[in-house]
């Protein structure tokens, strides 16, 4: 009897947090979704009215974002985020792993180095952005660094360079996505076949082939826009990527270092006894054991990079279109241009992207936990 | 009844708490433009000793950051008592249509301002329902800046048309000098409006904003072609420079010309200490001689503020010849008030004041006089489309699409 | 092993290069902040100041001290509130499992990953409607609520280490829900609190999006003031650099003094306990 009453108390004590999160997270997301289907702010006289008249317009805002004439900036922003995420992840994982390996070699002053590589993590993105804005001045900072040893200054335009590489037509996107998914399905089919799951392999093979065929035939004639529109990787992002890697690679280093320390020394000894040299040891024993850490780091960093906002705001300014991302565009669209419905639609796209990364991760890590 | 009682109580309370009475003045006049505002505030404090003035400035040229902050605050039900805004469509198309401002006709009548301001300016600040702002200054947008001694050294003169500019451009480049210095995004839009005025002429330029001349008209498309050629004569690190840094390039001799509003004169005279006509020279931007593209900073009366009387006193000062003659010589602009004392102004400003009287006037797009803010804020995207694709057709289509969506000219 | 031993200097060389690269921005900030505005020149960015211009910090202090005060108030209140609530939640979720807990917990956790843009417009509207827009209170509320997932997670994982037998023993002694918490769980919580407080302190201190949208001039924290100063034009760079140091110092000190716990917070942030 007493236990049950305590259990009720427990639930009661949890309730405020549950209600707060229910309202502030899920309720508000719902409201944002509702706003994204409305026309709030499309009519400029209603945008700032005290009691705006709002009508529902269905998917109009989303249609505009992906296929509308004016919202070309949003589409480039998506492409920017995609490339930024790839290079940011590659940079952090590569540098973090490298530093962790170095520190794992039983070096003197390890604590000092660890502190040094990790300290940028404690800074605000705004501080980092302010510092790197000064570092990357076109005629100063890093560019004149060579002159201190008598070499000619660099000319790279960092944040303001307008060069775009790896360009592709936005209209090719459905076909490209189709091919990519088809390729993944084929890989799934192959591995299922090897694993002896014939039915699964057959289904994956069939759908993969069908999707691939569609992408190569009908998919090519699906045009999102009535005209070709090229997007690509803006070279101006190199500076942002540098600053972001400077700040976050210490995080992956800490993760990897913890992982390396967690590998029992007997395991390494055993490998050495088997005649493995140091490089083989890392390739065949250590790296595979670090794989789960790589996955976690990718997901944590991935969702940070999708949401990146303050770093770019402080570093390149809100109006530097070549270094724009959806998170920043949402702020400008909603709070400066007062197109709340379109801002809400951008936010929802952002949320879906982040959820696609995070939900499977939460799912698997928590399910694994309850099994344990 | 209860309400009246409360008002009485409030008045009594205010009398007691007079020393705590406040006015918050919101602007983007920071840095070099700060002293002008501070001088005006100082005068206000002399006139109304009991009032504490909060000077809330948000930095960023042409109000790019300030507008976001202001809007969040207005939406948040926390309007500043007085805020800087560009007179004309920026105020009307954004705040007046949203019913956030008070009509100031009564103040104009009280102060006798109908006779003290040019008729055209009052019309630009009015709708059928009233007058919405008190202008504090007039700036000119279409000015070409240079250093006379440098031009002489290179053997060139200020061009009269864009065609002429484009012919001398290679010669200047051959000297290792940037023909035209530009800065970050909004300064490129600023350049665009001067090109548009120079190519189209005043009549057609005005028709763009009344939607009588579509952006897709061949005449309007030509603007983009010329603009593209002009951009080819500019510095390649533009996006990273503020307008002052672009002006610095001209002063320092690494660029020949710069097109900027005449706050650049204030910067060069006050901050850099150059003498007008000697240290720096000016001309109407190419092809716009005899046309004055104006913009004006103004203050309005927001609804629902706490210190309405303080704000009204601020507006009375701002709109007076005395207030404007304190502010403008420091700011590097001229006074819209017709009784302004021109002897207080430097050589550049006296010449501009003469132009203001005699020239054909048109409103600036970028600085909020000509078109709704909704159009203007999306115009950055149009420019971006042009810079990314280099296609006049794409830019023109985008501009027309936005114009239709926001109902330009309605 | 032997090959590595012989080439150990390579390791130190690489570490030295990496350290120098990581410290490059720090050098630049310190040097720039100590130059007089007139001495700041793009071409001589890297040279040491001719005269130490300590006035930068005095000037920056005038601009930033009220914002620092805001940041401290905000951070301290929000950190403590979210830590206390997180501790209670963690206690309930780890020791008083109830039907549905397996659904509630992941749903709470998701809240720490969402892009806050997705709730920004309604949050803004809500704070306005209850009259909390523009002040610190509204910002504190936002930080407490959106901090709950991470604090709950850290405490839940931390309390899971406390053996259930200890609580059983307490129950036999007649302790109830609060008794167990007060007598057994809370006294063991200190390390957990240190991790949570450090984590929340740095997160809230460094946050920008909420701060820029929900505050007015008087209540803005230092991150917003810094971004606005550095984003303005004709910037005299010694000021933002001095401001950057001021904005960085509190979290930097916390990190250097309590770095061990900071790393624990980082690792906890990746969900697996």
What are the pLDDT digits (tens) for B86-125? Answer: 888 888 888 888 888 999 999 999 999 999 998 888 988 9
Cα→Cα distances B28→B65, C213, C215, C228, Å:
8, 18, 18, 11
| Residues of C with Cβ-Cβ distance to A123 under 8 angstroms | 206, 248, 251-252
Indicate whether B260 and B347 sit together in one domain: no
Q: What is the pLDDT of residue C270?
A: 54
The verdict on residue C51 lying in a domain is: no
This complex has an ipTM of 0.89
* Closest listed residue to residue B313, CA positions, set B177, B111, B163, B128: B111
Whether pLDDT at B226 is above 90:
yes
| Contact between chains at C234 and B244 (C-beta distance less than 8 A) | yes
Distance from CA of B381 to the nearest CA of A (A): 7
- A175-193 average pLDDT score: 88
Rg (CA), chain B: 22
Indicate whether B249 and B332 sit together in one domain: no
Any A CB within 8 A of B71 CB:
yes
Distance from CA of A239 to the nearest CA of C (A): 13
pLDDT over 70 percentage in chain A:
98
| Residues of C with Cβ-Cβ distance to A28 under 8 angstroms | 118-119, 122-123, 126
Across-strand partners of B143? B284
pLDDT over 70 percentage in chain B:
93
- Residues 22-51 of chain A whose Cβ lies under 8 A from any Cβ of chain C: 24-29, 31-32, 35
Whether pLDDT at B61 is above 60:
no
The answer to whether residues A6 and C174 touch, using CB atoms and an 8 Å cutoff, is no
| Contact between chains at B56 and C217 (C-beta distance less than 8 A) | yes
Give, in degrees to the nearest 5, the angle at Cα A47 between A43 and A51: 115
The verdict on residue C103 lying in a domain is: yes
Of residues C262 and B176, more confidence is placed in B176
Domain that holds residue B323: 2-138+297-357
Domain CATH for C115: 1.10.3720.10
Comparing A190-204, A245-259, A263-277, B245-259, which segment has the lowest mean pLDDT?
A263-277
Of residues B253 and B240, more confidence is placed in B253
Distance from CA of C2 to the nearest CA of A (A): 9
**Which one of B63, B92, B239, B393 makes the best mutation probe of the A interface by having the most chain A beta carbons within 10 Å?**
B239
| Eight-state DSSP code of residue B274 | P
Of residues B19 and A358, more confidence is placed in A358
The verdict on residue C16 lying in a domain is: no
Q: What is the pLDDT of residue A170?
A: 86
Mean pLDDT of chain C: 86
Residue B125: count of CB within 10 angstroms of its CB: 27
Whether pLDDT at A191 is above 50:
yes
Any A CB within 8 A of C227 CB:
yes
| Residues of C with Cβ-Cβ distance to B56 under 8 angstroms | 217
| Contact between chains at C234 and B242 (C-beta distance less than 8 A) | yes
- Residues 31-60 of chain C whose Cβ lies under 8 A from any Cβ of chain A: 32, 41-43, 45-47
Whether pLDDT at B154 is above 80:
yes
Q: How confident is the model at residue C269 (pLDDT cuts 50, 70, 90)?
A: low
d(CA B86, CA B94): 11
d(CA C231, CA B184): 12
| Residues of A with Cβ-Cβ distance to B255 under 8 angstroms | none
d(CA A287, CA A267): 13
Distance from CA of A70 to the nearest CA of B (A): 6
Indicate whether B165 and B108 sit together in one domain: no
Any C CB within 8 A of B73 CB:
yes
Distance from CA of B348 to the nearest CA of A (A): 32
- A179-206 average pLDDT score: 87
DSSP state string for B97-166? TTT-B---HHHHHHHTGGGTS-HHHHHHTEETTEE--EE--BEES-EEEE-HHHHHHHT----SSHHHHH
Q: How confident is the model at residue C38 (pLDDT cuts 50, 70, 90)?
A: confident
- B67-77 average pLDDT score: 81
Q: A-C interface: how many C-beta pairs under 8 angstroms? A: 285
- A319-327 average pLDDT score: 87
* Closest listed residue to residue B135, CA positions, set B113, B159, B167, B166: B113
- Residues 127-166 of chain B whose Cβ lies under 8 A from any Cβ of chain A: none
| Range among A16-20, A321-325, B379-383, C211-215 with highest mean pLDDT value | A16-20
Mean pLDDT of chain A: 87
Q: How confident is the model at residue C232 (pLDDT cuts 50, 70, 90)?
A: low
Tokens of A84: 């930024």
Q: What is the pLDDT of residue B11?
A: 45
Given C134, C231, C232, which is nearest B78 (Cβ)?
A: C134
d(CA C145, CA C141): 6
Whether pLDDT at A1 is above 70:
no
Q: What is the pLDDT of residue A26?
A: 96
The answer to whether residues C110 and A26 touch, using CB atoms and an 8 Å cutoff, is no
Q: What is the pLDDT of residue C236?
A: 76
* Closest listed residue to residue C15, CA positions, set A99, A105, A108, A246: A99
Q: What is the pLDDT of residue B396?
A: 92
Whether pLDDT at C267 is above 90:
no
Q: How confident is the model at residue C257 (pLDDT cuts 50, 70, 90)?
A: confident
The verdict on residue C17 lying in a domain is: no
Any A CB within 8 A of B122 CB:
no
Given C14, C23, C271, which is nearest A365 (Cβ)?
A: C271
- B32-53 average pLDDT score: 89
Indicate whether B21 and B126 sit together in one domain: yes
Q: For residue A50, report the phi and psi dihedrals to the nearest 5 degrees.
A: -65, -45
3-class secondary-structure state, position A232: strand
Q: What is the pLDDT of residue C1?
A: 47
Q: What is the pLDDT of residue B15?
A: 42
Q: How confident is the model at residue A295 (pLDDT cuts 50, 70, 90)?
A: confident
Length of chain B: 410
Reported as half-sphere exposure (CB side, CA atoms, 13 A), residue B319 has a value of 27
| Residues of A with Cβ-Cβ distance to C236 under 8 angstroms | none
Domain CATH for B401: 3.40.190.10
Per residue in A55-70, pLDDT tens?
A: 889 899 999 899 887 8
Question: How many domains is chain B partitioned into structurally?
Answer: 2
Indicate whether B240 and B188 sit together in one domain: yes
| Residues of C with Cβ-Cβ distance to B243 under 8 angstroms | 233
Give, in degrees to the nearest 5, the angle at Cα A306 between A305 and A307: 90
Given B65, B185, B402, which is nearest A70 (Cβ)?
A: B402
| Contact between chains at B405 and A317 (C-beta distance less than 8 A) | no
Any A CB within 8 A of B68 CB:
yes
Whether pLDDT at C272 is above 50:
no
Tokens of B401: 């699409």
The verdict on residue C36 lying in a domain is: no
* Helix H or strand E segment including B178: strand B178-181
Mean pLDDT of chain B: 87
- Nearest residue of B to residue C124 by CA position? B76
Indicate whether B61 and B145 sit together in one domain: no
The answer to whether residues A167 and B388 touch, using CB atoms and an 8 Å cutoff, is no
**Which one of C132, C208, C217, C227 makes the best mutation probe of the B interface by having the most chain B beta carbons within 10 Å?**
C217
Strand B143-146 and strand B255-259: pairing? antiparallel
Whether pLDDT at C98 is above 60:
yes
Indicate whether B286 and B320 sit together in one domain: no
d(CA A301, CA A349): 19
Q: Which long-range contacts (CB under 8 A, 24 or more apart) does C11-17 make?
A: C11/A102, C11/A105, C11/A107, C12/A107, C14/A102, C15/A102, C15/A103, C15/A107, C15/A113
In sequence order, what E strands does B225-284 have? 255-259, 281-284
Any B CB within 8 A of A322 CB:
yes
Cα→Cα distances B282→B151, B259, B272, B328, Å:
12, 10, 16, 19
Q: How confident is the model at residue A225 (pLDDT cuts 50, 70, 90)?
A: confident
Indicate whether B372 and B255 sit together in one domain: yes
The answer to whether residues A258 and A114 touch, using CB atoms and an 8 Å cutoff, is no
Per residue in A272-285, pLDDT tens?
A: 888 777 778 888 88
Q: How confident is the model at residue B184 (pLDDT cuts 50, 70, 90)?
A: confident
The verdict on residue C35 lying in a domain is: no
- C98-124 average pLDDT score: 90
3-class secondary-structure state, position B334: strand
Across-strand partners of A14? none
Collect all residues from C whose CB is shorter than 8 A from any CB in B: 124, 127-128, 131, 133-134, 213, 216-217, 228-229, 231-235
3-class secondary-structure state, position B299: strand
- B295-303 average pLDDT score: 92
Given B68, B97, B384, which is nearest A45 (Cβ)?
A: B97
Cα→Cα distances A275→A264, A280, C237, Å:
18, 9, 58
| Contact between chains at B76 and C233 (C-beta distance less than 8 A) | no
- Residues 143-182 of chain C whose Cβ lies under 8 A from any Cβ of chain A: 145-146, 148-149, 152, 176-178
Tokens of B105: 């006709």
Residue C48 burial by CB count (10 A; 0-12/13-18/19+): exposed, middle or buried?
exposed
| Contact between chains at A137 and B239 (C-beta distance less than 8 A) | no
Whether pLDDT at B17 is above 60:
no
Q: What is the pLDDT of residue A142?
A: 85
Comparing A180-189, B26-35, C87-96, C204-213, which segment has the lowest mean pLDDT?
B26-35
Comparing A236-245, A283-292, B110-119, which segment has the lowest mean pLDDT?
A283-292
- C137-158 average pLDDT score: 93
Residue B119: count of CB within 10 angstroms of its CB: 9
- Residues 316-345 of chain A whose Cβ lies under 8 A from any Cβ of chain C: 317-318, 327, 330-331, 334-335, 340, 343-344
| Range among A138-147, B306-315, C164-173, C211-220 with highest mean pLDDT value | B306-315
Q: What is the pLDDT of residue A176?
A: 86
DSSP state string for chain C? -HHHHHTHHHHHHHHHHHHHHHHHHHHHHHHHHTS-GGG--GGGTTSPPSS--THHHHHHHHHHHHHHHHHHHHHHHHHHHHHHHHHHHHHHHHHS--TTHHHHHHHHHHTTTS-THHHHHHHHHHHHHTT-TBSHHHHHHHHHHHHHHHHHHHHHHHHTTS-HHHHHHHHHTT--HHHHIIIIIGGG-HHHHHHHHHHHHHHHHH--HHHHHHB-GGG--HHHHHHHHHHSSS--THHHHHHHHHHHHHHHHHHHHHHHHHHHHHHHTTS--
Strand B297-299 and strand B82-86: pairing? antiparallel
Question: How many domains is chain C partitioned into structurally?
Answer: 1
Indicate whether B11 and B30 sit together in one domain: yes
| Contact between chains at A24 and C110 (C-beta distance less than 8 A) | no
| Residues of B with Cβ-Cβ distance to A164 under 8 angstroms | 388
Cβ neighbours of residue C141 closer than 8 Å, sequence gap 6 or more: C127, C132
Q: What is the pLDDT of residue C234?
A: 53
Any B CB within 8 A of A72 CB:
yes
Q: How confident is the model at residue A238 (pLDDT cuts 50, 70, 90)?
A: very high
Q: Where are the alpha helices (DSSP H) in A104-152?
A: 110-118, 125-135
Residue C125: count of CB within 10 angstroms of its CB: 17
- Nearest residue of B to residue A134 by CA position? B240
- B347-359 average pLDDT score: 90
Indicate whether B172 and B256 sit together in one domain: yes
**Which one of A35, A70, A135 makes the best mutation probe of the B interface by having the most chain B beta carbons within 10 Å?**
A70
Q: What is the pLDDT of residue A299?
A: 86
| Residues of C with Cβ-Cβ distance to A18 under 8 angstroms | 104, 108
d(CA B333, CA B344): 12
The verdict on residue C11 lying in a domain is: no
d(CA B299, CA A100): 59
Q: How confident is the model at residue C235 (pLDDT cuts 50, 70, 90)?
A: low
d(CA A325, CA A46): 27
The answer to whether residues B376 and B92 touch, using CB atoms and an 8 Å cutoff, is no
d(CA C40, CA C46): 10
Indicate whether B275 and B335 sit together in one domain: no
| Contact between chains at A335 and C213 (C-beta distance less than 8 A) | yes
The answer to whether residues C105 and A366 touch, using CB atoms and an 8 Å cutoff, is yes
* Closest listed residue to residue B62, CA positions, set B399, B385, B330, B379: B379
Q: How confident is the model at residue B297 (pLDDT cuts 50, 70, 90)?
A: very high
| Residues of B with Cβ-Cβ distance to A320 under 8 angstroms | 184-185, 239
Comparing A279-288, B284-293, C13-22, which segment has the lowest mean pLDDT?
A279-288
3-class secondary-structure state, position B69: helix
Q: What is the pLDDT of residue B1?
A: 42
Residue A222: count of CB within 10 angstroms of its CB: 14
**Which one of A10, A30, A97, A297 makes the best mutation probe of the C interface by having the most chain C beta carbons within 10 Å?**
A10
Per residue in C41-95, pLDDT tens?
A: 777 788 888 888 888 899 889 889 999 999 999 999 999 999 999 999 999 999 8
Q: What is the pLDDT of residue B272?
A: 86
Tell me if the pTM is above 0.90.
Answer: no
Cα→Cα distances A72→A64, A321, B382, B401, C191, Å:
9, 11, 10, 13, 50
Whether pLDDT at B16 is above 90:
no
Residue B18: count of CB within 10 angstroms of its CB: 12
Per residue in A342-368, pLDDT tens?
A: 999 999 999 999 999 888 888 887 776
Cβ neighbours of residue A99 closer than 8 Å, sequence gap 6 or more: A113, A117, A249, A250, A253, C18
The verdict on residue C3 lying in a domain is: no
| Contact between chains at B77 and C229 (C-beta distance less than 8 A) | no
| Contact between chains at C216 and B78 (C-beta distance less than 8 A) | yes
d(CA B282, CA B147): 8
Q: How confident is the model at residue B2 (pLDDT cuts 50, 70, 90)?
A: very low
Domain that holds residue C258: 58-268
- Nearest residue of C to residue B76 by CA position? C128
Any B CB within 8 A of A364 CB:
no
Q: What is the pLDDT of residue C268?
A: 63
């Amino acid at each position: 009897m007493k236990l049950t009453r305590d259990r009720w108390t427990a639930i009661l004590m949890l309730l405020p947090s549950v209600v707060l999160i229910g309202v502030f997270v899920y309720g508000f997301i719902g409201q944002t979704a509702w706003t994204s289907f409305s026309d709030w702010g499309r009519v400029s006289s209603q945008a700032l009215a005290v009691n705006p008249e709002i009508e529902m317009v269905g998917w109009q805002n989303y249609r505009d974002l992906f296929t509308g004439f004016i919202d070309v900036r949003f589409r480039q922003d998506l492409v920017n985020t995609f490339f930024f995420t790839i290079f940011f992840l590659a940079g952090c994982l590569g540098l973090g792993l490298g530093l962790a390996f170095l520190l794992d070699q039983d070096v003197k002053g390890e604590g000092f180095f660890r502190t040094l590589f990790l300290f940028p993590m404690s800074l605000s993105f705004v501080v980092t952005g302010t510092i790197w804005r000064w570092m990357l001045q076109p005629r100063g900072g890093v560019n004149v660094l060579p002159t201190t040893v008598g070499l000619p200054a660099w000319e790279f335009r960092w944040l303001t360079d307008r060069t775009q590489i790896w360009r592709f037509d936005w209209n090719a996107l459905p076909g490209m996505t189709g091919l990519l998914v088809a390729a993944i399905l084929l890989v799934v089919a192959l591995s299922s076949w090897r694993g002896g799951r014939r039915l699964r392999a057959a289904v994956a093979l069939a759908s993969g082939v069908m999707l691939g065929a569609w992408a190569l035939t009908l998919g090519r004639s699906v045009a999102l826009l009535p005209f070709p529109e090229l997007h690509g990787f803006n070279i101006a992002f190199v500076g942002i990527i540098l600053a972001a890697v400077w700040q976050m690679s210490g995080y992956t280093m800490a993760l990897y270092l913890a992982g390396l320390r967690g590998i029992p020394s007997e395991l390494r000894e055993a490998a050495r006894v088997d005649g493995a040299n140091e490089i083989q040891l890392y390739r065949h024993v250590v790296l595979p054991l670090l794989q789960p850490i790589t996955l976690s780091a990718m997901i944590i960093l991935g969702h940070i990079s999708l949401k990146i906002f303050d770093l770019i705001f402080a570093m390149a300014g809100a109006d530097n279109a070549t270094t724009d991302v959806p998170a920043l565009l949402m702020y400008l669209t909603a709070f400066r241009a007062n197109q709340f419905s379109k801002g809400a639609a951008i936010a929802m796209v952002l949320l879906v992207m982040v959820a696609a990364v995070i939900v499977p991760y939460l799912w698997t890590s928590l399910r694994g936990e309850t099994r344990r | 009844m209860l309400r009246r009682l409360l008002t009485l109580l409030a008045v009594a309370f205010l009398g007691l708490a007079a020393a705590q009475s406040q006015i918050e003045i919101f602007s983007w006049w920071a840095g070099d433009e700060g002293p002008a505002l501070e001088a005006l505030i100082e005068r206000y404090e002399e006139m109304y000793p009991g009032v504490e003035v909060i000077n809330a400035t948000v930095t960023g040229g042409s109000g790019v950051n300030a507008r976001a902050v202001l809007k969040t605050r207005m939406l948040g039900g926390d309007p500043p008592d007085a805020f800087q805004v560009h007179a004309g469509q920026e105020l009307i198309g954004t705040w007046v249509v949203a019913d956030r401002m008070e009509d100031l006709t009564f103040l104009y009548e009280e102060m006798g301002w109908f006779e003290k301001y040019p008729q055209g300016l009052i019309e630009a600040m009015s709708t059928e329902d009233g007058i919405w702002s008190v202008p504090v200054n007039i700036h000119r947008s279409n000015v070409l800046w240079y250093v006379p001694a440098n031009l002489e050294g290179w053997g060139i003169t200020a061009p009269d048309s864009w065609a002429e500019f484009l012919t001398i451009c290679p010669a200047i480049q051959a000297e290792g000098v940037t023909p035209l210095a530009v800065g970050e995004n909004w300064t490129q839009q600023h350049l665009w409006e001067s090109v548009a005025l120079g190519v189209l002429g005043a009549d057609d330029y005005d028709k763009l904003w009344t939607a009588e001349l579509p952006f897709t008209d061949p005449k309007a498309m030509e603007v983009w072609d010329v603009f593209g050629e002009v951009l080819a004569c500019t510095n390649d690190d533009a996006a990273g420079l503020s307008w002052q840094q672009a002006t610095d390039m001209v002063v320092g001799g690494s660029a020949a010309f710069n097109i900027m509003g005449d706050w650049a004169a204030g910067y060069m005279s006050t901050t850099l200490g150059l003498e007008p006509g000697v240290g720096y020279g000016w001309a109407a931007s190419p092809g716009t001689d005899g046309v004055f593209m104006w913009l004006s900073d103004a203050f309005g009366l927001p609804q629902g503020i706490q210190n309405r009387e303080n704000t009204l006193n601020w507006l009375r000062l701002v709109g007076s010849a005395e207030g404007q003659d304190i502010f403008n010589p420091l700011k590097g602009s001229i006074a819209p008030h017709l009784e302004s004392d021109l002897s207080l102004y430097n050589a550049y400003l006296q010449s501009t004041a003469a132009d203001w009287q005699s020239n054909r006037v048109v409103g600036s797009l970028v600085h909020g006089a000509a078109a709704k803010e909704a159009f203007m804020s999306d115009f950055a995207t149009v420019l971006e489309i042009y810079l990314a694709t280099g296609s006049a057709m794409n830019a023109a289509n985008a501009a027309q699409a936005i114009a239709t969506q926001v109902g330009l000219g309605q | 092993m032997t090959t590595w031993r012989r080439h150990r200097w390579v390791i130190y060389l690489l570490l030295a290069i990496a350290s120098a690269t990581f410290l490059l921005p720090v050098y630049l900030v310190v040097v720039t902040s100590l130059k007089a505005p007139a001495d700041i020149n793009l071409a001589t960015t890297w040279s040491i100041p001719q005269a130490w211009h300590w006035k930068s910090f005095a000037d920056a202090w005038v601009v930033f001290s009220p914002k620092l005060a805001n940041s401290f108030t905000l951070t301290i209140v929000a950190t403590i509130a979210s830590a206390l609530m997180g501790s209670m939640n963690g206690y309930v979720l780890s020791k008083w499992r109830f039907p549905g807990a397996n659904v509630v917990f992941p749903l709470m956790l998701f809240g720490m990953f969402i892009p806050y843009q997705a709730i920004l417009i309604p949050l803004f509207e809500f704070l306005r409607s209850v009259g909390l827009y523009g002040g610190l209170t509204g910002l504190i509320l936002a930080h407490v609520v959106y901090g709950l997932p991470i604090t709950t997670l850290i405490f839940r994982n931390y309390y899971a280490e406390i053996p259930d037998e200890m609580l059983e023993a307490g129950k036999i002694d007649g302790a109830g829900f609060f008794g167990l918490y007060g007598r057994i769980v809370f006294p063991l919580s200190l390390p957990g609190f240190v991790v949570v407080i450090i984590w929340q302190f740095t997160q809230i201190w460094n946050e920008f999006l909420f701060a820029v949208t929900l505050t007015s001039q008087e209540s803005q924290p230092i991150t917003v003031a810094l971004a606005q100063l550095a984003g303005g034009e004709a910037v005299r760079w010694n000021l933002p650099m001095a401001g950057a140091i001021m904005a960085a110092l509190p979290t930097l000190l916390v990190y250097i003094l309590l770095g061990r716990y900071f790393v624990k917070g980082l690792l906890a942030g990746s969900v697996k306990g």
